[in-house]
Structure 1
Amino acid sequence: MSAPPSPAFARAWRLSAILVLGFASGLPLALTGQAMQAWLTVDGVDLATIGFFGLVGVPYTFKFLWAPLMDRFEPPWLGRRRGWLALTQLALAALLWWMASLSPTATPGLFAIAAVAIAFLSASQDVVVDAYRTDLLPEAERGLGASVHVFAYRLAMILSGGIALIWAGQWASWPRVYETMALIMAACAVVSLLALPRVSAALKPLDSDPRRELLGFAAMLAGVAAGYWSARQALILLGLDPNDANRWIQLLFVMAEIALALPLAGWAARRAGFETLNRSLSSYFAQQGAAAFLALIILYKLGDAFAGSLTTPFLIKGMGFSQEEVGIANKVIGIWLTILGAFIGGLIMTRLALYRSLLLFGVLQLVSNFGFYLLAELGKGAWGAVMVPAFDWGFVAIDTPAALDWLLLTVIAGENISGGMGTVAFVALLMGLCNQRFTATHYAMLSAFAAVGRIYVSPLSGVLSQSIGWPAFFLFSIVVAVPGVVMVWWLRDALARLGRPQTDGMVDD
């Protein structure tokens, strides 16, 4: 038998795996978010409709409902984690290629379906990436692992959310951009198949009846459909029209449908005996302060979610910046600053406890939103501009020097550095709340609650910004950031007690 790898090599291999998977996890997000918003904006789609397109990300908030299947079932030969990674990544590559063939104006229905399907698979990939990372890293490496994950995640967003805008402007073709992203995702799948280290999970999947599990999942889906239909019919009986031109009425239908679908899905899963979901949720809620932690997870980045939900339309349509300017400032320079913030946050967390880190970074996130209000009030060119020389890096180039707005760069710097710092502490919090027997389901549920703000504020943001204007909208984003900071202070003792995840033993995946 060959000698086991040295501890240093094993650690480097683990962190390299986190790097690759963080990149694969971050790549699709902008392609159904900021990059898609840019595509819709330049194609002439109105602002409120772009806001409603934010709902294609709804799967991110429901992913814990099917995460138990990824904890319970194991694709043959590859293992429970690596198998699901390869399958979701290959499917994402195929769907991105299909979306590239569609038009948001000529075939809006199919375009929306493709975007929802990509979001579903991206959320599913995130379930496995988060579980793999939590299973793979020992507790001592989790702070560093969170920084590496954020670095790679944001690096992917530089590509799909920043360089993509530059390519789209230079190529005059968003479809070509999405085809390129599909090929990159396929390459990530190859790495997942061939190069990832095996992981240890806390326990084997539950020894439950697989047919009963699938029946429980089907019942849960039926509960979702019943909740959607019941809420819709109730509002129609009250005399409301789902196709009303009033965007607030449309928003009411969407929110009511989602609000009723989720509890009915949970009730159906319990009645039908969806054991992995039921036991994993019971395991989480058995811990002290479980519900309060969920409230903290929703509120902590709510202000960031409002400020960032329509950043691209705000900068392109509201402020008059070009796609290339937004791509360079917000999606390339800005995301590098997020990476810098993530590393600064990781270093600070080696000195400060989780509670103090969350409190400090939460205050900085709140203050950074004031920059968008300042930009909306003062406008483009208020602080002058700096010239960026022409460059050619092979994969991206600018043929002529470009002017970048100083105020825009300042706002982007503050928002992204503070956001990166907050994200590192936030990821560490989520990992600390997981029981490793149900890692996929627990992390999926926690990160789903974290996505509530990012997904559900999008349609509200579109309607609200049209109703009250950009300056008042960004002031509102500052106000809604306050409860998250207050929740951190209120839970200071519980955060100080937060220990390592529960574990009952170790077996090979």
Structure 2
Amino acid sequence: MTNVSPTTRRTPSTMPTDGAAIAPGRRWRILSIGLLGFASGLPLALTNPTLQAWFTTAGLSLRDIGWITLTGTAYVFKFLWAPLLDRFQLPWLGRRRGWIALMQAICGCALIAMSFHTPQKAAAMLVLLAVLVAFSSATQDIAYDAHRTDLLRPEERGWGIAFMQGGYRAAMLVSGALALILADHLGWAWVYRLMGALMLAAILVTATSPEAPDEQPTRSFAEAVVQPFMDFFQRYGVLALAWLALMVLYKLCDAFALSLSTTFLLRVPQFSLTQLGAINKTFGLAAGLCGALAGGWVVTRMRLFPALLLLGVLQALVNLGYIWLVHSGPDLLALAVVVGAENFFSGLGSTAFVVLVTALCNVRYSATQYALLSSLAAVGRVFLGPLAAWLVPQVGWSNFFAITALSALPGLLLICALRRAIGRAELVRPH
């Protein structure tokens, strides 16, 4: 890693500066990040777990449902077109927010279009529209992640990312938990129409979000494509590959366990859609928001390495709770405990992880570099569904969840190996 002059150093995100981060002059900066986090998180469930529930109740096979996770492939490969967002600026709302607003409009319209089809009669069309939703959502994420990276100062990262996680998780529960309840009473068509309307309404938040400073596009397309990757590898040298591996491995166990969780809960303990929605809404929302905010508190008072290590262990252990549900039947208390613990510790771990990703990015190329790192983090969530669908019949659900917990070990070992590098990364804001 190249040396950084003392003038580029900033206040560490781990220092207790949360009072300054939420001072009156900065409140809308932080709040808008949270609201845009809601818009970022809303489409994700609608192209995977909620769509998975729709196809499950329509009677599709486990193998077919496992392949549905591939609709989110755009989240993995979004770094390929991220340079376009660094290079080109749309003629409205600035360099980042213009792209965010456009993608929100496309995503909202595609969700509404999905409401006019059913898995029984038009499964292929639903999947195609889900791919469009995922593409527009992934592109929105590129611009939003860059906007957030540009906007937040190092001392604001903890609370800013905590609010982002809170908004993101609230959206996941609206498009997941609340969607299941509404589907049980109103039908799937109205669910997707409502979610599409929420995405369109998010454009108003985008239009009023603060403008990040120094929003100047890169000078040439070649610079936009090549320089972000060269900059990353030049700054981190041989450690660059280790950082990229960590992006894949840190949340792998979480993604593996959740890849077929909706189908599992509907078919094994045999909860109803309303029961899943009600418990997720009551316990999942509260636990997820508490976990995200607690993660902001943790990273302002703990160094990033111990936070990542501790929270990585905890988010792996909660996977074992699903073994309880294999044998419990439709026990609402068991569901509440497992869902609450999973959301709380996943929120904690995600906040610390996003602080690390943000710290690794150079603000000049934030769209491309953040897209690259977050794309790798999505590998497990997108591609483990077919593997899980094959593995479950071979080993059974209990052994499957034990295997998902063990899959955390490579990421935790890599965290330990990168201890000093993590300490250096959290202190510097590359320019």
- Same-fold call, TM > 0.5? yes
Structure 1 residue matching 2:111: 3-state secondary structure: helix
Task: Please give the per-residue CA displacement for 1:340-385, whole angstroms capped at 9, x wherever unaligned.
Answer: 1111222122221000100000010111111112222x2315xxx5
What 5-or-longer segments of structure 1 have no aligned partner?
A: 1-6, 214-273, 386-404, 504-509
Equivalent in 336, 340, 362 of residue 409 of structure 1: 336
CA distance in 2, matches of 1:413, 1:83: 36
Aligned match of 2:408: 481
1:100 aligns with 2:115: yes
Contact between 1:303 and 1:366, CA under 8 Å: does it hold in 2?
A: yes
Distance 1:190 1:346, change over 3 A: closer
CA distance in 2, matches of 1:86, 1:77: 9
1:114 aligns with 2:41: no
Distance 1:491 1:418, change over 3 A: same
CA distance in 2, matches of 1:477, 1:42: 25
Task: Please give the per-residue CA displacement for 1:27-58, whole angstroms capped at 9, x wherever unaligned.
Answer: 10111011111111111111111110000000
1:196 aligns with 2:209: yes
Distance 1:334 1:407, change over 3 A: same
What is the correspondence of 1:74-473 to structure 2 with a 5 Å cutoff? 74-171=89-186, 173-193=187-207, 195-201=208-214, 204-208=216-220, 213=221, 274-288=222-236, 289-376=239-326, 378-380=327-329, 405-473=332-400
CA distance in 1, matches of 2:169, 2:335: 19
Structure 2 residue matching 1:58: 3-state secondary structure: helix
CA distance in 2, matches of 1:92, 1:366: 32
Q: Match of 1:277, as an amino acid?
A: V
Q: Which one has a bigger Cα radius of gyration?
A: 1
Equivalent in 495, 501, 504 of residue 422 of structure 2: 495
Aligned match of 2:62: 47
How far apart are residue 77 of structure 1 and its match? 3.4
Task: Please give the per-residue CA displacement for 1:66-92, whole angstroms capped at 9, x wherever unaligned.
Answer: 011011000013211111111111111
How far apart are residue 331 of structure 1 and its match? 4.8
Distance 1:124 1:446, change over 3 A: same
Q: Match of 1:380, as an amino acid?
A: G
Task: Please give the per-residue CA displacement for 1:167-195, whole angstroms capped at 9, x wherever unaligned.
Answer: 11011x101100011111111113322x1
CA distance in 2, matches of 1:296, 1:427: 12
Equivalent in 4, 27, 34 of residue 49 of structure 2: 34
Equivalent in 75, 83, 98 of residue 60 of structure 1: 75
Contact between 1:48 and 1:466, CA under 8 Å: does it hold in 2?
A: no
Contact between 2:268 and 2:329, CA under 8 Å: does it hold in 1?
A: no
Contact between 2:178 and 2:281, CA under 8 Å: does it hold in 1?
A: yes
How far apart are residue 154 of structure 1 and its match? 0.8
Structure 1 residue matching 2:60: 3-state secondary structure: coil
CA distance in 2, matches of 1:308, 1:280: 32
CA distance in 1, matches of 2:35, 2:336: 29
What 5-or-longer segments of structure 2 have no aligned partner?
A: 1-21
CA distance in 2, matches of 1:275, 1:65: 14
CA distance in 1, matches of 2:93, 2:279: 41
Contact between 2:292 and 2:347, CA under 8 Å: does it hold in 1?
A: yes
How far apart are residue 501 of structure 1 and its match? 2.6
Task: Please give the per-residue CA displacement for 1:444-470, whole angstroms capped at 9, x wherever unaligned.
Answer: 000000001111111111121133221
Contact between 1:163 and 1:332, CA under 8 Å: does it hold in 2?
A: no
CA distance in 1, matches of 2:76, 2:232: 17
| Aligned-residue RMSD, C-alpha | 1.4
How far apart are residue 275 of structure 1 and its match? 4.0
CA distance in 2, matches of 1:98, 1:119: 14
Q: Match of 1:205, as an amino acid?
A: P
CA distance in 1, matches of 2:414, 2:23: 39
CA distance in 2, matches of 1:297, 1:108: 33
Contact between 2:308 and 2:352, CA under 8 Å: does it hold in 1?
A: yes
CA distance in 2, matches of 1:350, 1:197: 24
Task: Please give the per-residue CA displacement for 1:401-448, whole angstroms capped at 9, x wherever unaligned.
Answer: xxxx22221211221111111000011011000001100000000000
Structure 2 residue matching 1:44: 3-state secondary structure: coil
Structure 1 residue matching 2:235: 3-state secondary structure: coil
Structure 2 residue matching 1:369: 3-state secondary structure: helix
Contact between 1:92 and 1:121, CA under 8 Å: does it hold in 2?
A: yes
CA distance in 1, matches of 2:151, 2:359: 14
Greater shift after overlay, 324-333 or 458-467? 324-333
CA distance in 2, matches of 1:331, 1:455: 24
The count of aligned residue pairs is 407
CA distance in 2, matches of 1:348, 1:299: 22
CA distance in 1, matches of 2:339, 2:152: 32
CA distance in 1, matches of 2:253, 2:31: 32
Q: Match of 1:492, as an amino acid?
A: R
Greater shift after overlay, 184-193 or 151-160? 184-193
Greater relative CO (CA pairs within 8 A, separation 6+):
2
Distance 1:323 1:114, change over 3 A: same
CA distance in 2, matches of 1:192, 1:159: 19
How far apart are residue 8 of structure 1 and its match? 3.8
TM-score, reference length from structure 1: 0.78
Task: Please give the per-residue CA displacement for 1:173-222, whole angstroms capped at 9, x wherever unaligned.
Answer: 101100011111111113322x1111114x622211xxxx4xxxxxxxxx
Q: Match of 1:18, as an amino acid?
A: I
Contact between 2:86 and 2:365, CA under 8 Å: does it hold in 1?
A: yes
CA distance in 2, matches of 1:188, 1:439: 23
Which has more helix, going by share of residues?
2
Distance 1:121 1:79, change over 3 A: same
Runs ≥4 in structure 1, deviation > 4 angstroms? none
How far apart are residue 332 of structure 1 and its match? 4.4
1:21 aligns with 2:36: yes
